[in-house]
A and B are shown apart, each in its own frame.
Chain A
Amino acid sequence: MKQRDLELLSSYLDGQLSPSDSARLESRLSSEPNLHAVMDDLREARSLLRRLPSRKAPRNFTLTRKMVGKNPPMPRAYPAFRFVTTLATLLLFFTVGLNFLAPQLASQAPAYGMGGGGGDTETFAAEAPAEAPATEAPAATAAPAAELAPLPTATLSAEDSGRIAETPAEKNGLSEEPAVSDAAQAWNVAPFVPPAWQIVLAGIVVVGALLMLLMRQSAISRWRQKG
């Protein structure tokens, strides 16, 4: 028996053949006893299976809330919101961390590559307090000197007093400049990630979290009403 003939006979029993195929098979059945015998076998098997009694389910298979879990089914958009909010949160933490580390990386960079441009932050920190009193002292004496300079009773000439008045200012400027510029290099380096981006990310996190909360609450209330 060819597989093709077997399929034809089986489909014929189920009425799945086209009228032309059925007619062709019927003419063969009348002339081929073997084919007819196989069809009888198939028909018997099919008939026995169809006579098999249908059994009642031994119990009800209805589900309880405990079986399906306490969490109500979330709206379809929920996973998308969760994904976007989680991604935004991770990116926010990453950018905050990156911006925090950026100045430290920038201050370390010259020591490795520029050769004597700035020195390291520890040296700067140790030197800064020592320089501060030295610069403040002349400034404190310079102010009264400058005020006294125009007075005719002054013992110093105007040129001298002007020189005295300028000198502390120059000294002050010279002594403070390295402190300010190093600090700027260390702490005022432009952040890797613009703050605007972080604000946008934070906004997505907050809005996403709020929307997820609302969706969840709405699903729970619907679940309680319907389920």
Chain B
Amino acid sequence: MDLAISQADSLFRDEVREFINANLSPNLKRAGLRMTSIFSDFDAAMEWQAILYRQGWLVPEWPEAWGGNNWSLMQRSIFQEESKLAGAPTLLPMGIQMLGPILLKYGTAEQKAALLPRILSGEDIWCQGYSEPNAGSDLASLSMKAEREGDSYILNGTKIWTSFAHRANKIFCLVRTAREGKPQAGISFVLVDMTLPGVTVAPIVSLDGEVEQCQVFFEDVRIPASCLVGQENQGWEVAKYLLEFERGGYSYYVMLDKQLGQIRQLAAQTLCTDDKNYLEDELFSNRLAELEIDKLALEYVEHRIKSASRENSAPGVLSSMAKVVGTELSQQLDLLALELRGCYLAPAQNQVLAPDYTGSTVGPEQGATVMNAYLNNRASTIYGGTAQVQRNIIAKQVLGL
């Protein structure tokens, strides 16, 4: 039992901090600060990706031959913490964190050579085609078809909640290639060029008036059979591997720390009565303290996940727990931010979200994005496995129910 950080790790932290400070332009910093979802401004994200790529820090978890750098879990966590602390934009995960590891494990030599460098360079922007209008939590019931025709597959169907499909040129999809047996057994993983005839993208306007999600339609889209990843009907296994790969990779406490910091700052600047600010208000500050304690508890759960290889507990299940607790806690913090913003939640002013916006805001400048963030964050307990699905997983895998 030890909470100590090694000297090497603390030197590493200094190095990371120095690099980020030296390379994070005011525009990128504003992009990080004005995030109202897990995604930052698209252009800022790609600019930051290019900077990290040049530094060799873009894909720590990839093998060295493909651009990885062998960082330990602790180093990756330090990098994540420092990036959030400094207000760096968040990278789009679909290429570097999702498709990349899948190709590394299941891709052919040709697929790796053709696609991995373009992910890193940002030439290809990938999006993820999993959910469908009638296949949400029950993903295995998906029905988008891929029918073999000679050396091609013909795709028909639709994908929804496809983040950044309107900015992407490629999409990886789970498609149905067989109808026999269990629903999971007839699914394949394919790569699709979105410039092909028959692919159309319809942006979805979210509650906050912004577009991050899309619906993508496929009508007789012909792709070469070489776009299959893994074996035909092995798609479910491929998708599940990614879940395993993701385990322990993301720390909710880092995101919550940022949110707590913003709320603290806002509370200190917002008067609650004539003579005291919200931090001095007992009711507000005790509620904030309660949520800080909840954050601390989650933080140590996540530290335990990271060191879990030396423990008996199953890290995968604790990851489900971290997702539930992290997102639900974040939604509770949103409510404190709403209280602080008060009547100035009302003005619709999405222009302030742009990193390069330097004009005025209605109401105080700080906290002008609170309403957007709140609305956006209602999705966090739905995407990536709903809070209910995560509880099902815990019930089944830990409690044996």
**Do A and B make up one complex?**
no
> B-contacting residues of A (Cβ < 8 Å)?
none
B residues near A, CB below 8 A? none
